[in-house]
Amino acid sequence: MKVIVGNNDYISGLIAEEFVKMVNQKPNCVLGLATGTSPLGVYANMIKAYKDGRVSFKDVKTFNLDEYIGLEGTHNQSYRYFMNTNLFDHIDIDKNNTHVLKGVGDYLGYANKYDELIKEAGGIDLQILGIGSDGHIAFNEPGTPFDSLTHVAELAESTIKDNSRLFNDISEVPTKAVTMGLKSIMNAKKIVLIATGKNKAKAIFNLLKGPMTEEVPCSILQKHPDCTIYVDEDAYSLVK
Ligand code: GLP
């Protein structure tokens, strides 16, 4: 794994350029996208590149990592809503080509065919990941099998607590989600992970220095052939 250290603006800019480069090289590429605070700067830079006429997303397909069970796509904390408002509404992507797992209705039926849909699209060319303070990626919490495909997951107590900052009250945070599995993520051809802030320092230490174990879901990335970790000084502080 390669590691790049810099402030949030710097690493967000670098990752956005990776996306721009990928889309310009392969206009019908498949992008794996993530939600959370971490990728916001990346998406802002991608929007700017589009507005500056440096890239077009019109033939791009996207697959998002996860969605809360119980939230409609119109709910302001759903990951579909997040993607529309923070990226898709501001670029020329065809929304029919944007895939986000469903949190209501036949969410299980859709989850069960998600890996197949990704495969049919040609596989993910570039996947962005954030990381949970407990080392989760997407909603793969500690203990998730390394060979997992898209599935229903129970959120860890610490994740519910971390994510409650975005809800009115902790009682409103869904306790379950649908998520791409660790194997689904590892199938991506290229992966970039972004982490900033002291509360990610332990997870980043475990990712870069710890053993590969299902107790630390992100540690599986150690065996990905093309994975780069972008961190700020705070997230990197325990490694140095
Ligand atoms: C959620 C998401 C993850 C994300 C994590 C970190 O749990 N399911 O995909 O990486 O939060 O979020 P943030 O970037 O807001 O710290």
Question: Considering the entire predicted model, what is its pTM?
Answer: 0.97
Residues of the chain with pLDDT below 70 are none
Check if the beta carbon of residue 105 is closer than 8 Å to that of residue 111.
no
At 36 the pLDDT is 96
Question: Which residues form the catalytic set?
Answer: 66, 134, 136, 141
pLDDT of residue 201: 98
Q: Best of 127, 163, 194, 230 to mutate for ligand 1, by most ligand atoms within 8 A of CB? A: 163
| Element containing residue 35 per DSSP (H, E) | none
Pocket of ligand 1 (CB under 6 A): 34-38, 65-66, 130-132, 138-139, 159, 163
pLDDT, tens digit, 9 for 90 and up, residues 136-183 = 999 999 999 999 999 999 999 999 999 999 999 999 999 999 999 999
In the prediction, which pLDDT does 234 show? 98
The residues near 174 (Cβ < 8 Å, ≥ 6 apart) are 68, 69, 70, 71, 103, 155
The predicted pLDDT at position 217 comes to: 98
